[in-house]
A and B are shown apart, each in its own frame.
Chain A
């Protein structure tokens, strides 16, 4: 948000005659204005559509968040002040949901970034079948999220016939033992189960962004450093990593924006049970099952505030990359 404002102000300070616009007509006021509108015309449908469909609902959410409004008690509708926010921030379930959202997002983003970076570094080298490995790595990201969650829940984590316990049994049998451990993964570690499924899906995303970053390195400079006797670690620490930093930020922030919103995995794997309900799931429940519109809206506003913090950072990173791209 602030990025937008800053660039806006920066542009506004320029002298009124537009220096960069290439074919600017001799600026008689009306003529220029109509030329401006001719330029804007192709943009307007998309802009108006986006404002109506994405911005209006948030305004309504903001208003409802200050109201007492439960569809089960239609007569008690009225102004609630900060009552909904107070109950969102003091309610045990809501606080738990906020905590779960933070943990889930942080763990999934960090682990998939680390894994993604390791794999991107491996894939940045020449070896036989590199294209095949890259394709294999992308595959988890191309499974519909609900299907991926079903796959982990039923085909992999299931304590009786899931692949994980099946593999344990097979390994133990190999050594002539019949009492292989058969943990009930989801009951034992519900949040970790959700995280594992999400990490599996998001590591390819991070890997793709970081690989693109690695491949945009100035290779001649690195070659020069190698000839000058820099060790592999030195090259990574002082050349590759600083170059990758912005891509790490971009991957992390975009990943965080998507995973904060995650609903599919929590809904499918644990149905929000066993202490895994995150904010999107709780909001869905509060509004869709409990019909407490006021509280659901207040919780929604809390998510938006959290997201704006991440999004502002993300926009700044994108903006830096974007300016470099255009300066080239």
Chain B
């Protein structure tokens, strides 16, 4: 530490004003680049380790020191998709897919018109509406859990995937409204108005002006809503059981150790995370915008 901080000021004191400090740049630049690589590597190591372990046999997975170069096998995946944890993971994966995809579609159907009414033809006090949506995302889910549970019990919707779909829709709607608004706000309104004057131009305008701006926005919004729904545990854990349980709920079956099962845990974790990894890398450029509720571009 001290050596790093000592090095930096030295050239600064030597340089008179205006002298370009070129000579310092390459060396420290390369070092800092190396440091960035090192930190990036440290952060990704657990994931790499998970993937590597998932392709080891249970015996090779549980060695100390770790066996990096053990032969690769798909045993972990076989026992995960087979009878590993007692029940097949396919229903859970299918439930997660249903809950995430259907709720994302409903979110879009609700959010796009709402975003339109908040940007292109804004209602009065539209900023207040925006902040109302945002404030609902900030209230903790756990505080609404009991009434939702009692309602589900009363209406017979416990362990029903549609209940999760409705709740995930409500959970993601604020994010989607904020994101979609920030995309729609980029649409040049004058061109839209001019196009609506002569009806023939409207379709063309939609296709050539609106679509290029809005479609990537819709894609990014759906990917982020998908990720949040896919990841959710507390609601799914409380409100579903054997029928509608989602993939994260299935994963909680691995919380307690069961003998030699590390390769299987890693395989399960990797399989369940794979859709999020794919969606996340696909939405990489828009990830910040979604996570910061559209506040940062």
Q: Say whether A and B bind each other.
A: yes
Residue on A nearest B269 in the bound complex, by CB:
A147
Of listed B43, B174, B257, residue having the most chain A CB within 10 A: B43
- Interface window among B60-68, B77-85, B201-209, B213-221: B60-68
Listed in ascending order, the chain B residues whose CB lies under 8 Å from chain A are: 8-9, 12, 15-18, 29-30, 32-33, 35-37, 39-41, 43-44, 46-47, 49-50, 53, 61-66, 110-111, 113-114, 116-118, 121-125, 127-136, 138-151, 166-167, 169-170, 173-174, 177, 182, 185, 189, 193, 227, 230-231, 233-234, 237-238, 247-248, 251-252, 254-255, 257, 262, 265-266, 268-270, 272-273, 276-277, 280-281, 284, 287-288, 291-293, 295-297
- Complex contact B135–A315 (CB within 8 A): yes
Across the interface, A200 reaches (CB within 8 A) one of B36, B43, B185, B234, namely B43
| Complex interface: chain A residues within 8 A of B37 (CB) | 129, 133
- New A-B contacts (13) at CB < 8 Å, excluding given A128-B33, A136-B40, A228-B17: A46-B173, A127-B36, A135-B284, A150-B254, A150-B268, A161-B64, A166-B64, A209-B291, A216-B297, A227-B18, A228-B18, A263-B142, A322-B130
- Interface window among A34-42, A75-83, A86-94, A187-195: A34-42
Q: How far is the CA of A203 from the CA of B18 in the complex (A)?
A: 38
- Complex contact A151–B123 (CB within 8 A): no
- Complex contact B117–A39 (CB within 8 A): yes
10 contacts between A and B (CB under 8 A): A43-B113, A46-B111, A47-B114, A142-B280, A146-B251, A150-B265, A155-B262, A166-B66, A284-B238, A287-B149
The smallest beta-carbon distance between B232 and chain A, in angstroms, is 9
How many A-B pairs fall under 8 Å by CB?
Answer: 355
| Complex interface: chain B residues within 8 A of A277 (CB) | none
CB-CB nearest 4 A-B residue pairs = A127-B33, A42-B113, A57-B144, A300-B143
| Complex interface: chain B residues within 8 A of A161 (CB) | 61-64, 66, 262
Across the interface, A46 reaches (CB within 8 A) one of B110, B134, B182, namely B110
The smallest beta-carbon distance between B190 and chain A, in angstroms, is 10
By secondary structure, the A interface counts as: helix
Listed in ascending order, the chain A residues whose CB lies under 8 Å from chain B are: 1, 3-4, 7-8, 11, 18, 21-23, 36, 39-43, 45-47, 49-50, 53-58, 60-61, 64, 119, 122-123, 125-130, 132-148, 150-156, 158, 160-161, 163, 165-167, 169-170, 173, 182, 200, 203-205, 208-209, 211-213, 216, 227-229, 231-233, 247, 250-251, 254, 257, 260-261, 263-264, 267-268, 271, 279-280, 283-284, 287-288, 293, 296-297, 300-301, 303-304, 307-308, 310-311, 314-315, 317-319, 321-322, 325-326
